[in-house]
């Protein structure tokens, strides 16, 4: 390891996709670069370890993408899913740059594969990492090392010296090679959101946050985000907004990853602890709705819900780590979760009675729907009547938070007085709120990290030279 007492051109805090893209980009622009990853080496890479794909605009089908996804279509999707809560200039800039990122990432050693079937129907819009997020990260780390980026693990940053919008130095929790104070001419903050900080989540969600499960790394506690906001950086985004999906209630508190997510909602009904349905399970196709179910479950009593279905659909969705709980009757199923048996029987009976005949097709908005039921199930409604019956208990699984640091097109942070910081840049989850005011479409997290990471690294390197 090099002498950390020297002054680097660019310091990158974080060790996920955004950090590595920034580090590689800064190094390729001629800067000396140090990456400080708070996690131990085995756990390096934050939430990026769990990812599978990235959404980029492209004008034609490719080896791995089944058709075009134009800038306009990407923008239309983003506008709709955020309800207009996005910075139009930045978002359009990101979408334009995303066209180039697919190739740039390959130049950094990452490989793609065609989309898998049976889950989110992303074959046209999203490129999948060959080997998943970990393989993608390993390629980025290898490239970073080969071109001379210095990387320190177990290197949690606990303080930042910032004067009048200018970064001076970062303080390590424990010394590395005798150094605790790390100096650099420019900073790239890529240290994720605050999703793993339950106390911080509680400020907005109250005690309900105790029942949240965190799908990714326990190391994203938002400490860098908080330091930056406390030291004059302008914040962006609503602190209650986040990406949250329904995951198995038996999942671990942290790092359960993709195999704990349930994609079976559209094939059944979802009830709360009072055995009552609370939302239209067939509102829209699953890729456009999976990311609302975490918040929906968070709003239910004790933040618990149950996906109920029967044996006719058991093999229709990707299996998860946890098997469904089976029973020969609805009453018996209720007993396995301490749900009121009569209440669950009535909910299922009312649902079955309201189902109208139709032709089932879960890939389109089909005509299988309920009539006279509140809430309705507007598509894919079929009777639950073929034993054995099954249920998955689900809780809110928080993926990442949207509160962040405001940046401009150069990924340069803006201070509370509106002035650009002299030498501080941000990329990834820590600034996702600029683009995502609310809502989500699969693969945008990695687009934000890659595009703004690449920009931040380049700009930080240039900043350090001047």
Q: Binder to ligand FAD among 282, 376, 404, 445 (CB under 6 A)?
A: 445
- The nearest distance, CB 212 to ligand FAD, in angstroms, is 13
Q: Which is nearer to ligand FAD, 134 or 346 (CB)?
A: 134
Q: Determine if 241 is a binding residue for ligand FAD (CB under 6 A).
A: no
Q: Which is nearer to ligand FAD, 13 or 275 (CB)?
A: 13
Q: Determine if 324 is a binding residue for ligand FAD (CB under 6 A).
A: no
CA distance 272 to 246: 13
- The nearest distance, CB 408 to ligand FAD, in angstroms, is 18
Q: Binder to ligand FAD among 443, 456, 458, 464 (CB under 6 A)?
A: 443
Q: Determine if 53 is a binding residue for ligand FAD (CB under 6 A).
A: yes
- The nearest distance, CB 400 to ligand FAD, in angstroms, is 5
Number of residues forming the site for ligand FAD (CB under 6 A) = 43
Q: Determine if 48 is a binding residue for ligand FAD (CB under 6 A).
A: yes
Single out the segment in contact with ligand FAD by CB under 6 A; choices: 63-71, 161-169, 402-410, 437-445: 437-445
Q: Determine if 162 is a binding residue for ligand FAD (CB under 6 A).
A: no
- The nearest distance, CB 374 to ligand FAD, in angstroms, is 33
Are the beta carbons of 396 and 340 closer than 8 angstroms? no
Binders of ligand FAD among residues 10 to 39 (CB under 6 A) are 13-19, 36-39
Binders of ligand FAD among residues 176 to 205 (CB under 6 A) are 190-192
Q: Binder to ligand FAD among 27, 28, 50, 379 (CB under 6 A)?
A: 50
145-180 b/e (C-beta count within 10 Å ≥ 16 → b)? eeeebbbbbbbbbebbebeebebebbebeeebeeeb
- The nearest distance, CB 234 to ligand FAD, in angstroms, is 19
- The nearest distance, CB 300 to ligand FAD, in angstroms, is 22
Are the beta carbons of 115 and 123 closer than 8 angstroms? yes
CA distance 380 to 269: 10
Single out the segment in contact with ligand FAD by CB under 6 A; choices: 48-56, 95-103, 160-168, 322-330: 48-56
Single out the segment in contact with ligand FAD by CB under 6 A; choices: 197-205, 211-219, 270-278, 371-379: 211-219
The site for ligand FAD (CB under 6 A) is made up of 13-19, 36-39, 45-48, 50-54, 156-157, 190-192, 215-217, 219-220, 223-224, 257-258, 399-400, 428-429, 443-446, 449
């Amino acid at each position: 390891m090099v002498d950390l007492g020297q002054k680097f051109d660019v310091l990158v805090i974080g060790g996920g996709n955004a950090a590595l893209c920034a580090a590689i980009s800064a190094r390729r622009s001629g800067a000396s670069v140090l990456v400080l990853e708070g996690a131990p080496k085995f756990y390096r890479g934050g939430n990026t370890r769990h990812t599978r794909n990235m959404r980029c605009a492209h004008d034609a089908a490719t080896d791995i993408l089944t058709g075009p996804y134009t800038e306009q279509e990407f923008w239309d999707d983003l506008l709709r899913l955020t309800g207009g809560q996005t910075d139009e200039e930045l978002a359009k800039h990101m979408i334009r740059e995303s066209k180039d990122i697919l190739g740039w990432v390959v130049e950094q050693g990452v490989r793609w594969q065609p989309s898998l079937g049976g889950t989110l129907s992303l074959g046209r819009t999203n490129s999948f990492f060959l080997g998943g997020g970990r393989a993608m990260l390993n390629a980025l780390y290898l490239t970073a090392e080969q071109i001379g980026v210095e990387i320190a693990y177990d290197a949690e940053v606990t303080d930042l010296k910032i004067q009048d919008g200018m970064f001076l130095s970062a303080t390590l929790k424990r010394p590395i090679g005798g150094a605790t104070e790390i100096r650099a001419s420019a900073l790239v903050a890529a240290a994720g959101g605050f999703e793993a900080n339950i106390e911080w989540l509680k400020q907005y969600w109250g005690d309900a946050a105790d029942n949240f499960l965190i799908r990714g790394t326990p190391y994203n506690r938002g400490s860098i985000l908080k330091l930056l906001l406390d030291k004059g950086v302008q914040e962006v985004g609503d602190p209650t907004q986040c990406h949250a999906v329904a995951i198995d209630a038996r999942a671990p508190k942290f790092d359960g990853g993709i195999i704990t997510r349930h994609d079976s909602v559209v094939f059944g009904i979802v009830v709360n602890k009072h055995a009552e349905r609370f939302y239209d399970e067939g509102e829209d196709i699953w890729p456009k709705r999976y990311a609302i179910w975490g918040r929906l479950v968070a709003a239910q009593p004790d933040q618990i819900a149950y996906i109920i279905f029967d044996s006719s659909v058991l093999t229709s969705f990707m299996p998860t780590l946890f098997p469904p709980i089976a029973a020969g009757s609805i009453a018996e199923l209720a007993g396995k979760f301490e749900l009121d048996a009569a209440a669950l029987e009535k909910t299922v009976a009312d649902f079955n009675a309201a189902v109208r005949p139709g032709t089932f097709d879960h890939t389109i908005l089909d005509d299988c729907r309920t009539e006279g039921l509140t809430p309705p199930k507007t598509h894919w409604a079929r009777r639950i009547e073929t034993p054995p019956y099954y249920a998955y208990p689900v809780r809110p699984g928080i993926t990442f938070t949207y509160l962040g640091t405001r940046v401009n097109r150069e990924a340069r942070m803006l201070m509370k007085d509106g002035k650009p910081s002299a030498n501080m840049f941000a990329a990834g989850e820590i600034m996702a709120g600029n683009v995502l005011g609310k809502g989500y479409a699969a693969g945008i997290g990695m687009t934000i990290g890659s595009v703004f990471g690449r920009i931040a690294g380049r700009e930080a390197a240039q900043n350090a030279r001047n």
